[in-house]
């Protein structure tokens, strides 16, 4: 083969390979474009866009009278598209950017107008389409910002990008905070009503299409068709009464401070409905203050002590083992339990002394010796007869509450491995068992409720847009815990505790009757048991008014270290203070009784505030409202048949005068005037940071101090 032929052959082969490669490229291009086109387009789209959740507005939690216990307020994050259509022209942008910066600086003085201007100009140079303007913006601030230069050009033209978020707040701050709870994504750790009713409150999140821009940042696509709106959550109407809750927390905290106790709780329940009107739990923190960190009322199961004697006497009465007049010798308050000739334990009463007394008197004086003698003499040969009745009362079962965290009660029976010769006598007066305060209250409530035992409830109904979606009623645990004859005996004994027994010096009063039982239990100290270091739990459980019960209540104070530790002197004052306040505020409780005036009967001075609410109260009380433009007496208005009030008037754009008001009226007045309020202290308003009548723009902050 000649050299020429050889060279041409190589050229033809190379050219053929090039043509073959070009053909392969064309085939692949065709395949990618037409055969796999949809696949690659979808992948490209998914890499540059994504859907993000739009958080639904969570439903409110309301008190029984409609007051807000927990609510969601909108909070916004603002960004700006520096290349939006309406400001794409440099002349339009730079003419007004300094004016925008000045307005922002006036609203947010943490940055100067020069700083805002520099930030916005730099973002413009960089072509930033998602420049952060501000986080945690309120609705009132957003309304102002929409009117600022450039941003007032419209939703798309001005470049303002608004991301809405929800902030959960408690208008009454610490009031029933533990019961209200908080949101937790982990259902197992759900807390309070927020967690237990999350499926109602949370609503359904929506979807928002976000597009990736330079720098890896995603900004929303302004296309309504690409958004799925969120469905807001339903409202929860709780059984809590904010006024009673406030009273309960205040009374409990004062006693805990006085006694320097470890912790304590109070539960106030309506007898007939089982609705919890107030529940307070306080724990002593490291700094010596008391805060709500744990729900002892439903989660802390301990030896109840003498309050459990009600169950022992109920059992013995109902099985006709004893009667109220059965005599017992308490042997001076000391009684030895023997087994095979040796002393197993010495049962002691809280106070020495006492000889032969009736079962009724023994209950009123809270004699441990008496109840141990009654129970051991009738049930030692067949303890199952005793424990079976406790099980028939469902004391060994959970209450199946509407909120999580309830401790399982422990009530032994002879089949338990831990049953011993001491178990029956110990159980007789409330030891060797574990029962929560709310479980004990449920038993006492059944006596007040004509023998019907019902499970307490915390939520009355679910509402959506003001309409009831679901309503809850207390579950009946036991239609009749004992016979009517036994009920009559127990009621007489419970009243006797307050009238003649351990509660007479603290809880007894001349206005209304109270029935209940004191309980002072020694607490086990871990592995040390009931050793050298003694600590006690003081409690009082009962109901009022005793002749027509409306409310039942339990007070528990754990390990009081200052002063006395006996229940009557530690838990009793808390019960008395709360009962007095509730009795004086509940008009229905006295509708069948004669009106009695005690102490100062002059008409109260009415502070300025929510006049609409004031008139509603007047109408319920049957009091005539007397309008007075100034002091009633100075205007010759006769206030003997009514109460004078004064309208709270103020000019638009000026700060109302709120000194002398309580917190709710002050918040109402300042809130209606368009101001944000910060609060310090408790009581009535003593000072306000901006004096009444001052001219301030809406949305400004006003601090009030209460004393």
| CB-based contact 443:310 (threshold 8 Å) | yes
User: How confident is the model over 115-166, as pLDDT tens digits?
Assistant: 999 999 999 999 888 899 999 999 899 999 999 999 998 877 888 988 888 8
Over 80: is that where the pLDDT of 47 sits? no
| Domain 243-590: homologous superfamily in CATH | DD-peptidase/beta-lactamase superfamily (3.40.710.10)
The Cα–Cα gap between 263 and 676 comes to 35
Q: Which of 27-31, 193-197, 561-565 has the lowest mean pLDDT?
A: 27-31
Over 50: is that where the pLDDT of 629 sits? no
* Ranges assigned E (strand) in 247-351: 263-270, 276-284, 290-291, 327-329, 334-339, 342-348
**Angle, CA of 101, 103 and 106, to the nearest 5°:** 110
User: How confident is the model over 85-107, as pLDDT tens digits?
Assistant: 889 899 999 999 999 999 999 99
* Tokens (6 digits) for 480: 């009749």
The mean pLDDT value for 616-629 works out to 58
The more confident residue out of 597 and 115 is 115
Residue 434, helix vs strand vs coil: strand
The Cα–Cα gap between 594 and 369 comes to 42
Q: What is the DSSP string of 383-403?
A: HHHHHHHHHHTTTTS----SS
Q: With bands split at pLDDT 50, 70 and 90, how would you rate the model's confidence at 213? A: low
Q: With bands split at pLDDT 50, 70 and 90, how would you rate the model's confidence at 226? A: low
611-706 has CATH 3.30.10.20 classification = yes
Closest by Cα among 110, 169, 170, 156 to 134: 110
| Residues contacting 27, CB < 8 A, separation 6+ | none
The Cα–Cα gap between 491 and 513 comes to 12
The proportion of the chain whose per-residue pLDDT surpasses 90, expressed as a percent, equals 55
Strands 206-212 and 218-220 turn out to be antiparallel
The Cα–Cα gap between 96 and 94 comes to 5
Tell the CATH topology of 52-238. Answer: Penicillin-binding protein 2a (Domain 2) (3.90.1310)
The mean pLDDT value for 225-253 works out to 89
Over 80: is that where the pLDDT of 691 sits? no
| CB-based contact 123:41 (threshold 8 Å) | no
Looking at residue 46, what DSSP letter applies?
A: H
Q: Report phi then psi at 168, rounded to 5.
A: -90, 130
Helical spans, DSSP H, in 285-344: 296-299, 309-318
Most confident range (mean pLDDT) of 461-475, 666-680, 691-705 is: 461-475
The Cα–Cα gap between 192 and 187 comes to 11
The Cα–Cα gap between 232 and 327 comes to 65
* Tokens (6 digits) for 671: 């809130």
User: What mean pLDDT value characterizes the chain?
Assistant: 85
The Cα–Cα gap between 178 and 281 comes to 8
| CB-based contact 79:133 (threshold 8 Å) | yes
Q: Report phi then psi at 183, rounded to 5.
A: -75, 135
Q: With bands split at pLDDT 50, 70 and 90, how would you rate the model's confidence at 172? A: confident
The mean pLDDT value for 208-225 works out to 63
Closest by Cα among 507, 528, 524, 525 to 516: 507
Residue 151, helix vs strand vs coil: helix
Q: Report phi then psi at 88, rounded to 5.
A: -65, -30
User: Model-level pTM?
Assistant: 0.72
Taking the CB of residue 519, how many other CB atoms lie within 10 A of it? 29
C-alpha distances (whole Å) from 614 to each of 418, 664, 692 are 60, 12, 22
The mean pLDDT value for 267-287 works out to 96
The more confident residue out of 71 and 579 is 579
| CB-based contact 367:355 (threshold 8 Å) | no
The structure tokens 């307020």 sit at: 73
Q: With bands split at pLDDT 50, 70 and 90, how would you rate the model's confidence at 529? A: low
| Residues contacting 31, CB < 8 A, separation 6+ | none
User: How confident is the model over 406-450, as pLDDT tens digits?
Assistant: 999 999 999 999 999 999 999 999 999 999 999 999 999 999 999
| Residues contacting 599, CB < 8 A, separation 6+ | none
Go through 107-126 and write b for each residue having 16 or more CB atoms within 10 A of its CB, e for each that does not: eeeeeebeebbebbbebbee
The Cα–Cα gap between 415 and 514 comes to 39
The Cα–Cα gap between 25 and 286 comes to 76
């Amino acid at each position: 083969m000649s050299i020429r032929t050889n060279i041409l052959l190589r050229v033809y082969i190379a050219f053929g390979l090039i043509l073959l490669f070009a053909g392969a490229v064309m085939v692949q291009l065709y395949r990618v474009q037409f055969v796999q086109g949809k696949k690659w387009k979808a992948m490209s789209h998914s890499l540059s866009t994504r859907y993000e959740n739009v958080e639904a507005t969570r439903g409110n939690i309301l008190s029984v009278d409609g007051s807000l216990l927990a609510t969601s307020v909108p909070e916004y994050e603002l960004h700006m598209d520096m290349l939006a259509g309406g400001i794409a022209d440099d002349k339009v942008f730079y003419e007004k950017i300094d004016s925008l910066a000045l307005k922002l600086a006036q609203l947010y003085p943490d940055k100067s107008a020069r700083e805002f201007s520099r930030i916005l100009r730099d973002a413009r140079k960089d072509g930033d389409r998602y420049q952060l303007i501000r986080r945690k913006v309120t609705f009132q601030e957003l309304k102002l910002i929409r009117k600022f230069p450039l941003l007032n050009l419209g939703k798309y033209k001005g470049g303002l990008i608004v991301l809405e978020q929800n902030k959960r707040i408690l208008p009454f701050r610490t009031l029933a905070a533990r019961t209200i709870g908080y949101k937790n994504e982990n259902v197992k750790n759900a807390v309070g009503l927020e967690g237990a009713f999350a499926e109602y409150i949370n609503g359904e999140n929506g979807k928002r299409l976000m597009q990736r821009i330079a720098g890896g940042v995603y900004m929303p696509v302004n296309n309504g068709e690409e958004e799925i709106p969120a469905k807001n959550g339903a409202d929860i109407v709780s059984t809590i009464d904010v006024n009673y809750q406030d009273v309960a927390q205040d009374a409990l905290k004062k006693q805990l401070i006085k006694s320097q106790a470890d912790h304590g709780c109070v539960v106030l329940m309506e007898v007939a409905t089982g609705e919890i009107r107030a529940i307070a739990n306080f724990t002593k923190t490291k700094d010596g203050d008391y805060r709500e960190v744990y729900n002892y009322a439903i989660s802390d199961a301990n030896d109840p002590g003498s309050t459990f004697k009600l169950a022992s006497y109920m059992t013995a009465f109902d099985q006709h083992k004893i009667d109220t007049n059965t005599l017992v010798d308490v042997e001076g308050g000391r009684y030895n339990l023997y087994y095979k000739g040796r002393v197993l334990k010495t049962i002691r009463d809280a106070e020495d002394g006492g000889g032969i007394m009736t079962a009724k008197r023994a209950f009123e004086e809270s004699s441990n010796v008496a109840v141990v003698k009654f129970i051991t003499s009738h049930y030692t040969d067949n303890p199952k007869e005793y424990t079976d009745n406790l099980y028939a009362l469902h004391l060994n079962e959970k209450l199946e509450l509407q909120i999580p965290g309830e401790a399982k009660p422990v009530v032994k029976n002879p089949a338990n491995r831990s049953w011993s010769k001491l178990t029956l006598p110990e159980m007789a007066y409330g030891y060797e068992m574990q029962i929560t305060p709310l479980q004990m209250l449920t038993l006492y409530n059944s006596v007040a409720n004509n023998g019907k035992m019902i499970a307490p409830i915390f939520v009355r109904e679910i509402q959506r847009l003001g309409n009831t979606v679901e309503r809850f009623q207390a579950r009946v645990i036991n239609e009749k815990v004992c016979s009517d004859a036994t009920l009559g005996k127990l009621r007489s004994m419970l009243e006797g505790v307050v009238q003649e027994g351990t509660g007479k010096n603290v809880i007894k009063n001349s206005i209304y009757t109270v029935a209940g039982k004191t309980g002072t239990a020694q607490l086990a100290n871990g592995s040390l048991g009931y050793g050298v270091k003694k600590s006690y739990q003081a409690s009082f459980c009962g109901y009022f008014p005793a002749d027509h019960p409306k409310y039942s209540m339990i007070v528990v104070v754990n390990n009081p270290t200052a002063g006395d530790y006996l229940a009557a002197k530690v838990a009793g004052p808390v019960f008395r203070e709360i009962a007095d306040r509730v009795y004086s505020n509940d008009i229905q409780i006295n509708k069948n009784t004669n009106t009695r005036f005690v102490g100062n009967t002059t008409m109260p001075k009415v502070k300025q505030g929510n006049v609409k609410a004031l008139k509603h109260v007047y109408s319920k009380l049957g009091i005539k409202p007397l309008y007075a433009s100034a002091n009633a007496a100075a205007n010759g208005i006769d206030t003997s048949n009514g109460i004078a009030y004064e309208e709270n008037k103020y000019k638009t754009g000026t700060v109302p005068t709120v000194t002398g008001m309580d917190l709710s009226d002050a918040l109402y007045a300042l809130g209606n005037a368009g101001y944000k309020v910060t609060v310090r202290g408790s009581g009535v308003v003593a000072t306000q940071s901006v004096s009444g009548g001052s001219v301030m723009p809406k949305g400004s902050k006003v601090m009030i101090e209460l004393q």
